[in-house]
Amino acid sequence: MAVPIAVLDCDLLLYGRGHRTLDRFKLEDVTDEYLVSTYGFPRQFIYYLVDLLGASLSRPTQRSRAISPETQILAALGFYTSGSFQTRMGDAIGISQASMSRCVANVTEALVERASQFIHFPEDEAGVQSLKDDFYGLAGMPGVLGVVDCTHVAIKAPNAEDLSYVNRKGLHSLNCLMVCDARGVLLSAETHWPGSLPDCTVLQQAALTSQFETELHKDGWLLGDSSFLLQTWLMTPLHIPETPAEYRYNMAHSATHNVIERTFRTIRSRFRCLDGSKGTLQYSPEKSSHIILACCVLHNISLEHGLDVWSSPATGHMEQPEEEYEQMESMDSEACRIRQELLLTHFS
């Protein structure tokens, strides 16, 4: 006689109940080549994440079976770098697709909690001067503390069909405001802005603006493209350069600002969940924002570990909607004076 079987947790079927950690996969049993090809990162990097996040990922839960921090991190890295909850990814570490999703949520939360530890401007004078020196070495642009730009990441339509997330290309997205240094290290990342907001509006409302207007603008500036308004702490290109000095300024500005475009490409290449090749992020705007921020944290940690920002080839689709913007003209006379003084002092 056939016996009806209830739908059970796949992990329960495989491993049974018990107050134990499920260590399904051992890093020492596989090669570095396998780890890099499957999870995107080498062994020592993964061990570092286990040490960093282990306490957060071992929090007591109501479930009787705990998935080890190591397994949770592998599951999350597999998703971040492939953009997929494929069955083979779960099979490789011995967990179900549902457990893969829980692991991604847990690791994402743990990384977001540590965002301010890894994404920040230097606070000491030596660190600030190092930023300026590194940028000056690129194309001779003085006083630069960072380059700023926005990038869109496609998300599924919110349940409420909130039109605020529909960008100019008719796609649902988050508009993410980021700043990086000359090496591509992120100094600021605000990943929660609705895709309908133009870059200029995002910057006006961002915490970054408040930070620079109250703290950091006295000794330098950011570089932004023509989608932003010229500010005393934000140098933009000249709309119509006329003199040799203005052309030299624009060329140096463009060559320096290009660093953040390369950084965006590298992040999308390394974290395929963001590049659109597997479709949009299938989460709410809030959860999608956290996933993007978690990838930003991992990006900076990878640079700390010598995984060169420029080493990853560009792959996959770039679903970033290119912003179509009008040239912004500043009415800030003090900002215009500072840019003119910069032109006369360094580019004449």
Q: Pick the more confident residue, 38 or 86.
A: 38
Any domain includes 305: no
Q: Mark whether 220 and 342 lie in a shared domain.
A: yes
Checking if the pLDDT of 8 tops 50, the result is: no
Q: How confident is the model at residue 7 (pLDDT cuts 50, 70, 90)?
A: very low
The torsion angle over the Cα atoms of residues 159, 199, 333 and 327, rounded to 10 degrees, is -130
Q: How far apart are the first and last CA of the chain?
A: 92
Buried b (16+ CB within 10 A) or exposed e, 48-57: ebbebbeebb
Mean pLDDT score, 288-301: 97
How far apart, in whole angstroms, are the C-alpha atoms of residue 152 and residue 318? 10
Taken as a whole, the chain contains a residue count of 348
Any domain includes 296: no
Q: Are 316 and 269 in contact (CB under 8 A)?
A: yes
Over residues 174-233, the pLDDT tens digits come to 999 999 999 999 999 999 999 999 999 999 999 999 999 887 566 799 999 999 999 999
Checking if the pLDDT of 293 tops 60, the result is: yes
Q: Tell me the one-letter amino acid at 80.
A: Y
- Predicted local distance difference test score (pLDDT) of residue 26: 73
Checking if the pLDDT of 284 tops 80, the result is: yes
- Predicted local distance difference test score (pLDDT) of residue 21: 42
Residue 92: domain span: 23-57+67-113
Mean pLDDT score, 326-340: 78
Q: Mark whether 35 and 149 lie in a shared domain.
A: no
Any domain includes 1: no
How far apart, in whole angstroms, are the C-alpha atoms of residue 229 and residue 235? 8
144 DSSP β-pair partners: 221
Any domain includes 16: no
E-only strand ranges, 102-228:
144-154, 173-180, 186-194, 221-223
- Predicted local distance difference test score (pLDDT) of residue 191: 98
Q: Are 173 and 156 in contact (CB under 8 A)?
A: no
Q: Mark whether 146 and 101 lie in a shared domain.
A: no
Any domain includes 12: no
Specify the pTM.
0.86
Q: Mark whether 244 and 109 lie in a shared domain.
A: no
Q: Mark whether 194 and 263 lie in a shared domain.
A: yes
How far apart, in whole angstroms, are the C-alpha atoms of residue 104 and residue 292? 12
Joined together, the tokens standing for residue 114 give 């540590």
Over residues 105-149, the pLDDT tens digits come to 999 999 999 999 999 999 899 999 999 999 999 999 999 999 999
Joined together, the tokens standing for residue 128 give 């600030």
Q: Tell me the one-letter amino acid at 74.
A: L
Any domain includes 38: yes
Closest CA to 104 of 295, 299, 320: 295
Mean pLDDT score, 56-69: 71
E-only strand ranges, the chain:
20-22, 65-67, 144-154, 173-180, 186-194, 221-223, 234-235
Q: Mark whether 104 and 129 lie in a shared domain.
A: no
Domain count for the chain, please give it: 2
Backbone phi and psi for residue 186, each to the nearest 5 degrees, phi listed first? -75, 130
DSSP string computed for 294-348? HHHHHHHHHHHTT--TT-SPP-S---PPPP--PPP----HHHHHHHHHHIIIII-
Q: Pick the more confident residue, 12 or 197.
A: 197
Any domain includes 332: yes
How far apart, in whole angstroms, are the C-alpha atoms of residue 346 and residue 248? 9
Percent pLDDT > 90 in the chain is 62
Checking if the pLDDT of 253 tops 70, the result is: yes
Average pLDDT across the chain, whole number: 84
Checking if the pLDDT of 316 tops 50, the result is: no
Checking if the pLDDT of 320 tops 80, the result is: no
Q: Mark whether 107 and 127 lie in a shared domain.
A: no
For the ranges 13-22, 48-57, 155-164, the maximum mean pLDDT occurs at: 48-57
Q: How confident is the model at residue 91 (pLDDT cuts 50, 70, 90)?
A: low
Residue 48 region by backbone torsions, left for phi larger than 0, else alpha for psi between -120 and 50, else beta: alpha
281 DSSP β-pair partners: 155
Q: Mark whether 219 and 259 lie in a shared domain.
A: yes
- Predicted local distance difference test score (pLDDT) of residue 11: 42
Q: Mark whether 194 and 264 lie in a shared domain.
A: yes
Q: How confident is the model at residue 67 (pLDDT cuts 50, 70, 90)?
A: confident
